């Protein structure tokens, strides 16, 4: 019983304590230094890399589809002359 009363007193103290002060504004991790002159080299590199990766992904997908169709036809081919 005494332990229960101690716990209740502790919780009452914790509940009565004022909340910790919070910052009204927080800083962002990335800060724009000078947006009057954007870094066009970085922008071009980012978009160019993205475009190259998408082109590679689409090309690889098309090749995979062609290989899938080729194997599907070979699997369905039941000829006595081939075996």
Tell me: the pLDDT tens digits for 19-70? 666 656 666 666 666 677 889 999 999 999 999 999 999 999 999 999 999 9
Is residue 23 assigned to a domain? Answer: no
In a domain, 70, yes or no: yes
pLDDT at 76 over 80: yes
DSSP letters spanning 7-75:
HHHHHHHHHHSPPPP--SS---SS--S-TTS--HHHHHHHHHHHHHHHHHHHHHHHHHHHHHHHHHHHH
Is residue 21 assigned to a domain? no
Of 9 and 83, the structure prediction assigns the larger pLDDT to 9
Residues composing the chain: 83
Q: Over 60: is that where the pLDDT of 83 sits? A: no
Tokens at residue 16, please? 């009565």
Considering the domain boundaries, does residue 46 fall inside one? no
Number of domains comprising the chain: 1
Q: What residue numbers bound the domain in which 70 lies?
A: 56-82
pLDDT at 1: 58
């Amino acid at each position: 019983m005494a332990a229960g009363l101690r716990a209740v007193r502790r919780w009452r103290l914790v509940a009565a304590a004022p909340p910790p002060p919070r910052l009204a504004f927080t800083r962002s991790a990335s800060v724009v230094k000078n947006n009057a002159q954007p870094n066009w080299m970085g922008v071009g590199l980012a978009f160019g890399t993205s475009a190259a990766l998408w082109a590679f992904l689409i090309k690889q997908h098309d090749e995979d589809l062609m290989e899938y169709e080729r194997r599907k036809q070979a699997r369905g081919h039941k000829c006595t002359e081939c075996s």
